[in-house]
Amino acid sequence: MRFGTRTMSELFVLFASLLALSEIAGAQPDLKRQWETTVEAAKKEGEVVIYGPHNPIYQQLWAVFQKNFPEIKFTFVPGKGAEHVQRLVAERRAGKYLADLVMGGSSTYASFAPGTMEPLKPLLLLPEVNDPSAWWDRKLHFADPQNQAAIIISGEVGTRRGSYNTKLVDPKEIQSWWDLLQPKWKGKLGSFDPRVAGGGGETFLFFYYTPALGTKFITRILTETDILLTRDLQQGTDWLAQGKILFYIGSGQPIMKAKKQGLPVDLLPHPLKEGEVMGGGSCCMAVMTKAPHPNAAKLFVNWVLSREGQTAWQKYAEVNSLRLDIPKDDLASEDVPQKGVSYFMINSYKYNDPARRKALQQVVEEALKKAGKAK
């Protein structure tokens, strides 16, 4: 059937579009009212409590929040992720609910029992926060097993490409991880022990899950190269600076610190053929159930995820925010995700499954046993 020049199906599409727009228009004032109500309720609660990392750089970020909401006292309890998990479990067993939010690395959230953290999306009231186009890969990313509570805020890149001695290595020689199996690198490679959380362990997760590398690459690099392993981040950096090794697989932070001190070390300046790790560090945040200041917690999460909050986060934490609609000129070009590069989101919930990590550990253990390095 036709009405003028339009078919019935065209009219239906037009009607549906108008209905959707009308629903959005109706939802906006409702969200605005919810936001205003939340802000006023948060001011009355007068405090927000977060358990988070030791790093003092975040104090500058919290100061920006306090400037915006001076009526809300900001209480910050520093500690390691595992310490916070133990503290929260003990508090809740005792019937104490003291923390509103917990912040830390992605592995922190795999230890919480279901129902410990609030699903996050119902708490997001600002339209700009809910806009998929504002975020990397056009969606919000989560680190918890239920894929709904521990939001991933930052996406660090470049720090797990590996590092090299700048006086002894031309980085152009290394375009693929497989290049390190060439005879000239034998006895000249080092890594943070992949059996230990942190350091090089995340890079080995990338190896494990990347089809072009997988268990075959892990086994060969651990058995064929006489690779030196350490459980001391500084020792790996020292080996590299001294020329004892030429290439190091591990966390980039000690390397960058040593570079600033004038030592001949640096991160690879380019991603490798198989792609690149994205993530690591204190990337994530979650709201606890039965939070003592639920409105202040909701306010804080919305602010942190807003353009203003993420601009401050990126500036003071010195790490790439997953928000795409904020300036990136405060980061070095190599710290910003590049078009055409495949990124492995290591903080994603699916890579923090303890069973899968255990499977990786078994591959590593078997390879090291074969190489005579099992402990």
The alpha carbon dihedral of 8, 11, 17, 21 has a sign of negative
Q: Which of 260, 304, 285, 271 is nearest to 347 (CA)?
A: 285
Distance CA 42, CA 48 (A): 9
Q: Report whether pLDDT(373) > 80.
A: no
pLDDT tens figures, 208-233: 999 999 999 999 999 999 999 999 88
Give the pLDDT confidence score for residue 5 in this predicted structure.
Answer: 43
pLDDT band, very low/low/confident/very high, at 106 (cuts 50, 70, 90): confident
| pLDDT higher at 253 or 92 | 92
CA angle (82 as vertex; 72, 76 as ends), nearest 5: 15
Q: What is the pLDDT of residue 7?
A: 47
**What Rg do the C-alpha atoms of the chain give, in angstroms?**
24
Q: Which two tokens stand for residue 176?
A: 């693929």
Most confidently predicted of 102-106, 193-197, 199-203, 371-375:
102-106
What is the percent of the chain where pLDDT is above 70? 91
Cβ 349 vs Cβ 144: under 8 Å: yes
pLDDT at 144 over 80: yes
Residue 16, pLDDT > 50, answer no
Spatial separation of the C-alpha atoms in residues 357 and 11, rounded to whole Å: 53
pLDDT confidence band for 362 (50 / 70 / 90): very high
pLDDT digits (tens, 9 = 90+) for 157-189: 887 889 999 999 999 999 999 999 999 999 999
Tens-digit pLDDT profile for residues 234-244: 899 999 999 99
Residue-range domains of the chain with CATH = 46-155+280-339 (3.40.190.10), 163-278+354-370 (3.40.190.10)
pLDDT score for 233? 81
Task: Give the pLDDT score at 13.
Answer: 40
Residue 33 has pLDDT above 50, yes or no: yes
**Above 90 in pLDDT, residue 23?**
no
Cβ partners under 8 Å of residue 58, min gap 6? 52, 76, 282, 316, 317
pLDDT in tens, 254-268: 898 899 999 999 999
